[in-house]
Amino acid sequence: MSDKHVHIKDKYISKAIELADKLLDVSVRGTKEAGDDSSMIFFGTIRDYAFKIKKLADELLKKRQEGN
């Protein structure tokens, strides 16, 4: 695979990390303003998936860097 393709894939992985950070921000703000249990569950779910996305993307970038 060419360096160009690796760079493009890394770009999208980095973009996923940025989106996960935005989701974390939404979950924190939403949790602060949640008025009921179902809202808390909803924002907690967003937080959990944001952490999962971020962890997987970080691991993938780390593997790519180790492979170069």
Q: Please report the sign of the dihedral spanned by the C-alpha atoms of residue 34, residue 38, residue 41, residue 46.
A: negative
At 7 the pLDDT is 72
Q: Is pLDDT at 1 greater than 60 in this prediction?
A: no
How do residues 6-41 score in pLDDT, each as one tens digit? 576 788 998 999 999 999 999 999 999 998 999 999
Q: What is the pLDDT of residue 65?
A: 80
Residues 6+ apart with CB under 8 A from 34: 40, 42, 43
66: DSSP letter: H
Query: Contact at 8 Å (CB) between 20 and 51?
Result: yes
pLDDT at 6: 59
Q: How much is the average pLDDT of 33-55?
A: 96
What residues does each domain of the chain span? 3-67
